[in-house]
């Protein structure tokens, strides 16, 4: 069985595979390359990989002080 979940590493849509024949649960995310393989019997982690994420997302605007300084300097140039 395969279910869609949110990646615990980056929040994107990931897949969780329930592998009954191996008694394992495998969670993987293609976006950030997250991987977790656990035993479904004991809960023991068999394999894992969780890459780091950038500390500042690309879509966040600069702080207000930087924006105000940019406006102030551009106004001063036109005067």
d(CA 79, CA 66): 21
Paired with 53 in beta bridges are: none
Segment 3-38, tens digit of pLDDT: 999 999 989 999 999 999 999 999 999 999 999 999
Segment 53-78, tens digit of pLDDT: 666 555 555 555 555 555 555 555 55
pLDDT of residue 21: 95
d(CA 43, CA 37): 10
Contact call for residues 29 and 14 (beta carbons, < 8 A): yes
- Eight-state DSSP code of residue 67: H
Paired with 49 in beta bridges are: 35
């Amino acid at each position: 069985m395969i279910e869609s979940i949110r990646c615990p590493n980056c929040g994107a849509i990931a897949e969780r595979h329930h592998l009954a024949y191996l008694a394992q649960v495998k969670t993987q995310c293609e976006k950030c390359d997250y991987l977790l393989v656990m035993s479904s019997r004991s809960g023991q982690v068999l394999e894992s990989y969780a890459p780091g994420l950038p500390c500042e997302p690309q879509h966040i605007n600069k702080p207000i002080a930087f924006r105000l300084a940019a406006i102030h300097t551009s106004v001063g140039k036109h005067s």
